[in-house]
Amino acid sequence: MTNGELKSRVESVLKNEIAPALLLDGNGIEVLDVSDGIAQVRLTGVCAGCPATIMTVITSLEDALRKRVPEIEVLEAVG
């Protein structure tokens, strides 16, 4: 699977299965890059500027994403 295909798969899983819960709280997530088992994302919305919230959200998202896309080892928040 190419990086582009993996990025599309990550985007699809986040958009359709994980992100709807974020949207309920006024937040969103954007996939910036996927390579070497690392998915780089940007959180948007009300929690985007709070480091503690970002870590909590990323940890939860990472667990959920790794269950659905095992090729992803790390979910990294990028400012």
* pLDDT higher at 54 or 29: 29
Q: What is the mean pLDDT of the chain?
A: 86
What's the pLDDT score for residue 79? 78
CATH of the domain at 65: 3.30.300.130
Over residues 26-47, the pLDDT tens digits come to 778 899 999 999 999 998 876 6
Q: Which residue has the tokens 């959180």?
A: 43
18: confidence class by pLDDT, cuts 50, 70, 90: confident
Q: Which domain holds residue 62?
A: 3-77
> What whole-number distance in Å separates Cα of residue 36 and Cα of residue 54?
22
Chain centroid to Cα 57, Å, comes to: 9
> What whole-number distance in Å separates Cα of residue 72 and Cα of residue 36?
8
Burial class (CB in 10 A: 0-12, 13-18, 19+), 66: middle
Question: Model pTM?
Answer: 0.82
* Domains of the chain: total: 1
